[in-house]
Every structure is written in structure tokens, then in C-alpha cells.
Amino acid sequence: MKSLLFSALCSIPLMMASGVAAQSASVGSAAPTFAAKDLAGKPVALADYKGKYVVLEWTNPDCPYVRKHYNSGNMPATQKQATAKGVVWLSVSTGDTHTPAELQSWQKTKSASPTTTLTDADGKIARAYGARTTPHMYIIDPQGTLIYAGAIDSKASSNPADISTATNYVDQALSEAMAGKAVSRATTQAYGCSVKYPSGA
């Protein structure tokens, strides 16, 4: 019953910021620094990737909007396309809903290929960026400036059929920035399930 209720609640896209996750990061300003551990327990810091483009992707295997992009292969394809260009892709799992082993197993079944996945059990990274939804996407340029924040694409639905007619905002922003152009849509409205902040976060 609990899982059915969760799926039902997640069937409605979260389009507004919650009081828990007030927007902190600002496009055009320095991206908030952070340090965390990956799924193997290895320390990872944003500073480790100085001089590179970095994508942050908030994820949750239980969310229908996340499943839309993973089951269809859209998110793994976007990851592969980005990392092939030298972009660092950091998936972020906030809260303690899933163990590292569960996340690793799920990613393997979906052929996911982020550079690494960070565990944000205490919600500090999510709070620093104001992450509200899964997925919620951010792009940081080689100078450490946040150049994109928002949705993965332009169709705020959980229907995989919408992907083919949607604009992939992450692909678009990376292509423009890496070509030396200004990002045409630097901020968009994120959609998806609410980020599962731990109690008291």
C-alpha cells in the first residue's frame, strides 16, 4: 500500500519549490562546493573536477519521472554523450531511501554510465543547490560557474513517448557552452518527484 501511495503521489509532477529546499545555487554565480562519498565509499569533491564541465543529476529509482528517462534509455544515452565529450557526470542520491548496493544494481540494469554516483544522505548537497525534484539537473562550467539549472527536458510528464518530441535541455546547454556560446535556456522549471530530504534536513 505504501509503495502504491508513493507512486500515486509521484504521478503528479512537483513544479514548485518546497519550503525544505529553498533555492540556494544561482545560475551565473559560483557553484556551491561540496564533498561526499560515492557508492563505494570513496571521497569525492567538486574541486576534484576543476577545469571540467560537471553535470549534477538528482536521481531516485522509485520515481516514475526518473524511470521514464532510464527505462527508455534517454538518461543513459545523455550520460554517455556527455562523458564522451569529457564532461563529468555526477548522479546524486539524497536521503537514505536506497543503499549503495541497491543503487549500483539498479544502475547496472539500466546501463547507466555516470562518472560516479554520490550519496547525499544528510541532504547537504541538495540543500546547497536547492534541488527539489528527481530528476533535477545542474551544469557547472570549467571555471566553476553554474550555467544551467532545471529540467532534463521540455516535456513535464512521466510518459516515455514524450521524449522523442522534447528538447533535451542538458544536451542543448552543453552543446552551446562547449561551442563558446551563451546557454539559451539557462534556467528551466524542474519537474518530477520531490527530493527525499531526511527528517530535519
pLDDT in tens, 129-149: 999 999 999 999 999 999 999
pLDDT at 4 over 70: no
pLDDT tier for residue 198 given thresholds of 50, 70 and 90 = confident
Residue 19 lies in a domain: yes
**Residue 46 placed within a domain:** yes
> Dihedrals φ, ψ of 38, to 5°?
-85, -175
**Structure confidence at residue 48 (pLDDT):** 97
In a domain, residue 28? The reply is: yes
Name the residue range of residue 125's domain. 2-194
Considering the domain boundaries, does residue 200 fall inside one?
no
Contact 34, 46 (CB under 8 A): yes
Query: To 5 degrees, how large is the angle CA 94–CA 119–CA 175?
Result: 80
Structural domain count, the chain: 1
Tell me if 141 is assigned to some domain: yes
In a domain, 159, yes or no: yes
CA distance 70 to 79: 11
| Per-residue pLDDT tens digits for 20-45 | 334 468 999 999 999 999 999 999 99
**What are the pLDDT digits (tens) for 67-89?**
999 999 999 999 999 999 999 99
pTM above 0.85, yes or no: yes
Give a yes or no: residue 199 inside a domain.
no
Residue 164, domain member (yes or no): yes
What CATH number does the domain containing 111 carry? 3.40.30.10
Among 138, 162, 130, 147, which Cα is nearest to 65's?
Answer: 162
